[in-house]
Structure 1
């Protein structure tokens, strides 16, 4: 099978993208041809966006062989502004300064023709879970798979859900081995009504011996108010996307151990009481994205068994069949007549 890989975490990195090289190597060991187009940097929480008006420029990543040091996988490689000669046998991936969805478009239609048609697109493995509606609707990992689906290709969004970021090489390798087998199984038994599958693999010991469950996506919501924090003293230096992702992963690690993040606090709308009829006054404020992820974990704890968030919390692999659209609600037909 010819598989196109993308992600939303960028090129291999021990800090921000520790899983993609493991998956690529495992798929290759299973006999698949693997082509790789990744964002050149962190692009999480961007959904299926494209950077309109942005001229995309590729660079070229040459991964070093995976090594295990002190029980952990070491991800490294070099980046070049020019591709290798056509007769080179060295492995080379393409990096583009855009989004996962754009990576998919570019990979499907502008590269790899000599390798034959692409059979399947796999977006991931994401550094962290993409379960429940709140996470999934903003996921760049799922966005990449959605882009492939609307281009008419079979696609899978793959995420590794961690409970402790100090997992060792054997746990990551086990997750990649399970993922490769599951990817092959889903492709061989593809449901014609399904456009893409969202897979969440928990990073736990012996994951290959644990259950793999069909699940539905848990419908949940932000219930603690605004996802933005008012900055009383505006920061001159904004956090980068990588900084924010690191903060989120630290929070997810704590919540994975059943600890709640932060405290509930009041929220501000940013709108002040009108000072005169017909006049609305606003206080000049700066804001920082700071969602309360305990909403997600509490929704999972309070849900009935069978959804994707519940399955991951039990240490099971979750497989959710999806369609690449915003499905309508049944029961509404005919003409709408407005009241007089």
Structure 2
């Protein structure tokens, strides 16, 4: 089977992309042909976006050994601005300075034709869960699979749900072994009504012994107000933004708190200064401020705790693997037809 891999976490990295090398190696060991096109850097929470007007430039990643002598995953490799010569047999992945959705387009149509048609696109494994509507609607992992689906390809969004960030290599290897078997099963038994599957594998010991369940997406929402924290404006506004890696580490730390009584990331409420004048539109004066993405993960885990069994969030919380069949569209609400006449 020819499998195209992308993700939204970028090339292998202990900090932001600790799982993709394990999955690729496991699929290759199972006899599959694996082609890899990844964003050149972390692109989480970007959905199915493309960077309009940007000329994309690939670089080339050569993965190192998967495991070190001590058994830990290495997550290492080298990057070059030019591909290896045609005579080389070394493994090489493509990195694109864009989004998961763009990586899918480039992988499907601009590389790998010599390897034959792509049988399935796997977007992931994501560093963290993509359960519930709040996560799924913004997920670059799901967005990559959506892009593949609207290109007519079979697609699977794969996420590894961690409960702590101590990356036990044996637990990761177990998740990848299960994921490889499940990918094969889904492709072999693809449901004609389904355009993509969202799969969440919990990073727990012996996950292959646990149940694999078909689930619905838990329909939740942000309830605690803005997901942006108000920041003081520095005297000089020529400072650099927080490095993507640092922001990513803070989000992962917050996500790790899911299931606990308190979760970091609560944003401060912004002040509103408004005056009202009877009979006319008030003039609004804005307070100049900055904002930082700081989602309320408490909203998500509380929605899972309060939900009935059967949804994706509930399944992962039990240590089960969730498989959610999806359509790659915004389904309209039924029951509306005819002309709208304004009063």
TM-score normalised by the chain length of structure 2: 0.95
Larger mean CA deviation between 270-279 and 325-334 belongs to: 270-279
Distance in 2 between residues matched to 1:114 and 1:213, nearest whole Å: 37
Distance in 1 between residues matched to 2:171 and 2:100, nearest whole Å: 26
1:255 is the counterpart of 2:258: yes
Distance in 1 between residues matched to 2:265 and 2:231, nearest whole Å: 17
Match of 1:215 in 2: 215
Q: Select 2:335's aligned residue among 296, 313, 331.
A: 331
Closer/same/farther in 2, CA of residues 185 and 240 from structure 1, 3 Å limit:
same
Closer/same/farther in 2, CA of residues 263 and 26 from structure 1, 3 Å limit:
closer
1:288 is the counterpart of 2:292: yes
Closer/same/farther in 2, CA of residues 264 and 152 from structure 1, 3 Å limit:
closer
Closer/same/farther in 2, CA of residues 272 and 107 from structure 1, 3 Å limit:
same
Counterpart mapping for 1:2-21 below 5 A: 2-21=2-21
Deviation of the 1:275 alpha carbon: 6.4
Asked if structure 2 preserves the Cα contact closer than 8 Å seen for 1:275 and 1:281, the reply is: no
Regions of 4+ moved over 6 Å: none
1:203 is the counterpart of 2:203: yes
Task: State the Cα deviation string for residues 189-248 of structure 1 (Å, max 9, x = none).
Answer: 000010000000000000000000000000101100011111124473321222221111
Asked if structure 1 preserves the Cα contact closer than 8 Å seen for 2:227 and 2:267, the reply is: no
Q: Secondary structure of 2:257's match?
A: helix
Match of 1:115 in 2: 115
RMSD of the TM alignment (CA)?
1.6
Q: Select 2:303's aligned residue among 299, 303, 306.
A: 299
Larger mean CA deviation between 64-73 and 108-117 belongs to: 64-73
Distance in 1 between residues matched to 2:47 and 2:97, nearest whole Å: 16
Distance in 2 between residues matched to 1:109 and 1:39, nearest whole Å: 16
Deviation of the 1:172 alpha carbon: 0.3
Distance in 2 between residues matched to 1:176 and 1:154, nearest whole Å: 19
Deviation of the 1:265 alpha carbon: 6.7
Distance in 2 between residues matched to 1:294 and 1:203, nearest whole Å: 21
Closer/same/farther in 2, CA of residues 297 and 333 from structure 1, 3 Å limit:
same
Match of 1:162 in 2: 162
Counterpart mapping for 1:76-91 below 5 A: 76-91=76-91
Asked if structure 2 preserves the Cα contact closer than 8 Å seen for 1:260 and 1:294, the reply is: yes
Match of 2:53 in 1: 53
Distance in 1 between residues matched to 2:3 and 2:302, nearest whole Å: 36
Distance in 2 between residues matched to 1:161 and 1:141, nearest whole Å: 13
Distance in 1 between residues matched to 2:230 and 2:15, nearest whole Å: 28
Match of 1:274 in 2: 275
Asked if structure 1 preserves the Cα contact closer than 8 Å seen for 2:2 and 2:119, the reply is: yes
Task: State the Cα deviation string for residues 11-38 of structure 1 (Å, max 9, x = none).
Answer: 0111111100000000011111000000
Distance in 2 between residues matched to 1:264 and 1:63, nearest whole Å: 38
Asked if structure 1 preserves the Cα contact closer than 8 Å seen for 2:254 and 2:264, the reply is: no
Deviation of the 1:271 alpha carbon: 4.1
Task: State the Cα deviation string for residues 159-191 of structure 1 (Å, max 9, x = none).
Answer: 000001113111000000000000000000000
Larger mean CA deviation between 191-200 and 274-283 belongs to: 274-283
What residue ranges of structure 2 are gaps of 5+ in the alignment?
A: none
Aligned residues: 337
TM-score normalised by the chain length of structure 1: 0.95
Asked if structure 1 preserves the Cα contact closer than 8 Å seen for 2:15 and 2:245, the reply is: no
Asked if structure 1 preserves the Cα contact closer than 8 Å seen for 2:230 and 2:267, the reply is: no
Deviation of the 1:332 alpha carbon: 1.8
Closer/same/farther in 2, CA of residues 39 and 264 from structure 1, 3 Å limit:
closer
Distance in 1 between residues matched to 2:23 and 2:261, nearest whole Å: 30
Deviation of the 1:68 alpha carbon: 3.8
Match of 2:245 in 1: 242
1:174 is the counterpart of 2:163: no
Closer/same/farther in 2, CA of residues 227 and 149 from structure 1, 3 Å limit:
same
